[in-house]
Structure 1
């Protein structure tokens, strides 16, 4: 198994993307700790993992509360002995509109929440990884400067900001043996709501790929598990493109 004896913490672990990553990590032998704010969603993912023979635990934690996040990660390390993988895939209020139509407060609020939770959760994990002199910090979404399209509002701006933060973490943490990697996607089609308005978005994502395909949640989980494993140890301080060629990053 790729992740045997590894400990993974997934913030937003009850969501579609977070759940897919958690399931993939657990299937490869990791002990996963799912963090979120909705117990029912966390329990659904955890029970599915346990039914498949994996190890999963849940915790209700507000990722905007630094004290709560730090208390939780300390408890994980005390119980499991280490934190080897950490990823934050918490969804935030994105405004898919032309920039001119978004109220300033709404534009700033979405990006602020994304950056704040990423900073808090990454700092918490990094504190232990530095002591261990090892660990993998995964990020999701990525920055694709070559393919800017209208109507993304503050969503792509927020992802660009997170990717900038990831690059800064990389140069500061690499000397401690910590890898930082972003999964660059052009959109994960089966994570979208099944509505007519999103049907067009799904088709647009597939049309942007030379292969006319798009990543699924299973693809995201499988790639994340490999990147986080020792077999992916040479992948560091970079983005991994899982967009079927739609993104150029």
Structure 2
């Protein structure tokens, strides 16, 4: 029996990286899993990996910035599995690394649309469904960029600070109704997004490891699987007294 046996979990941005690792971890702990991403091939691959390991998964292609896509995801999840108990709002983009005064408006608007509006829309749809179930647990993916600033990443930093704020508000409003809401704030994690940020920041002169490992007191960047462990634990009854928290998982990055 896993921590989430009999539960239904939903993960956005599940085609790769933290989203894929989280979906696999949910399934390994006994949950049936609904997946979403704009990358259909990657999402299908994640669902296939879960099924190959004996789990049950549904993939629904969609953009979290689109209200109709979010509504469809939750509706199809409930139609297939009957309920929604856990959700990980992971979908996000990094945008361009450019000083604030030079940031294109379209870049700012797209980053906010995916990273912040997307979490807002998912929270609304998830909470409405969880209220029908009698409760649930939600984890939003913020970032250490939701706790401190990063030169060149103003839209991303603004979006992730917003995610942490939404998390606190949702927790205050719904904890007494049985819904816990937390966010986690990863530092450098071995993903395609981090590779893109490293490449943009150094013009390709340094590898991701060369740039990011020294920034973490633990001496290395993290893995998607390490982040997935925290997400799934927060969705389990073992974290029953935790809500409204913005939790760093960063190898000591923000402790410096």
One fold, TM greater than 0.5? Answer: yes
The residue number in structure 2 matching 1:240 is 247
Q: 1:104 to 1:89 in 2, by over 3 A?
A: same
| Contact in 1 for aligned 2:146/2:158 (Cα 8 Å) | no
Residue from 231, 238, 243 that aligns with 1:231: 238
Matched, 1:121 2:128: no
The residue number in structure 1 matching 2:52 is 51
| Contact in 2 for aligned 1:83/1:128 (Cα 8 Å) | yes
The residue number in structure 2 matching 1:197 is 204
| Contact in 1 for aligned 2:8/2:83 (Cα 8 Å) | yes
**Following TM superposition, by how much is the alpha carbon of 1:39 offset from its aligned partner in structure 2, in angstroms?**
2.1
For 1:61-140, what aligned pairs fall within 5 Å after superposition? Answer: 61-92=62-93, 94-140=95-141
Aligned equivalents of 1:90 and 1:147: distance in 2?
A: 20
| Contact in 2 for aligned 1:95/1:153 (Cα 8 Å) | no
Q: 1:43 to 1:221 in 2, by over 3 A?
A: same
Structure 2: which 5+ residue stretches go unaligned?
Answer: none
Which structure 1 residue ranges, 4+ long, deviate > 4 Å from structure 2?
A: 143-147, 198-201
| Contact in 1 for aligned 2:65/2:117 (Cα 8 Å) | yes
The 3-state SS of whatever aligns with 2:195 is coil
Aligned residues: 249
Aligned equivalents of 1:176 and 1:199: distance in 2?
A: 49
Q: 1:120 to 1:198 in 2, by over 3 A?
A: farther
Aligned equivalents of 1:39 and 1:205: distance in 2?
A: 30
The residue number in structure 1 matching 2:17 is 16
Give the TM-score normalised by structure 2. Answer: 0.87
| Contact in 1 for aligned 2:4/2:26 (Cα 8 Å) | yes
